[in-house]
Amino acid sequence: MSTRTVLHAADIARALTRISHEILESNKGPEDLVLLGIPTRGVTLAERVGALVTDFGGAPVPVGALDVTMYRDDLHRHPTRTPRPTQIPDGGIDGKTVVLVDDVLFSGRSIRAALDAIGDIGRPAAVRLAILVDRGHRELPIRPDFVGKNLPSARTERVNVHLAEVDGIEEVTIAS
């Protein structure tokens, strides 16, 4: 199996800075904005983007975690998933613009599950999607609003996001 690095730490930092600025511009500031990361690495990315949006926007932006495990439509194929805690920031999501944050967008099924989970939690004014890597191969009509890197890939390849807080290293690799 061959593996190549497609994003280094500096590339990831630049992508998250750009995404943060785009979120602020799209929302016309930090007001009524909530970031929800999808575990595991989506939560770490949401925390980073939240800190950047807070710095650039001049006001704190709440960040939480949204576990989608029990909303997935493929539990029969992957029954050993361990649910992670869902943490909705104080103030909830009703009437807010919620930005879902995840590391890799592939089929779109995790995001569909996230939309179902959000529906059980509250009624946001809008839901947006921020992705570090969009690798294509969508099975559902889901498209990200904010993308760090478009990375066309073969279905047989695997895109791996490694973040310092979770993995001890900072890179995105593709393995074939």
Helix (H) or strand (E) holding 134: strand 126-134
Three-class SS of residue 31? coil
Q: Which domains does the chain have, with CATH numbers?
A: 3-70+89-175 (3.40.50.2020)
Three-class SS of residue 15? helix
How much is the pLDDT for 172?
Answer: 98
Please write the tens of the pLDDT for every residue from 26-69.
999 999 999 999 999 999 999 999 999 999 999 999 999 999 99
pLDDT over threshold 70, residue 79: no
CA distance 163 to 118: 26
Considering only CA atoms, which of 132, 148, 157, 150 is closest in space to residue 40? 132
Please write the tens of the pLDDT for every residue from 84-136.
899 999 999 999 999 999 999 999 999 999 999 999 999 999 999 999 999 99
Q: How many helices (H) and strands (E) does the chain have?
A: 4, 8
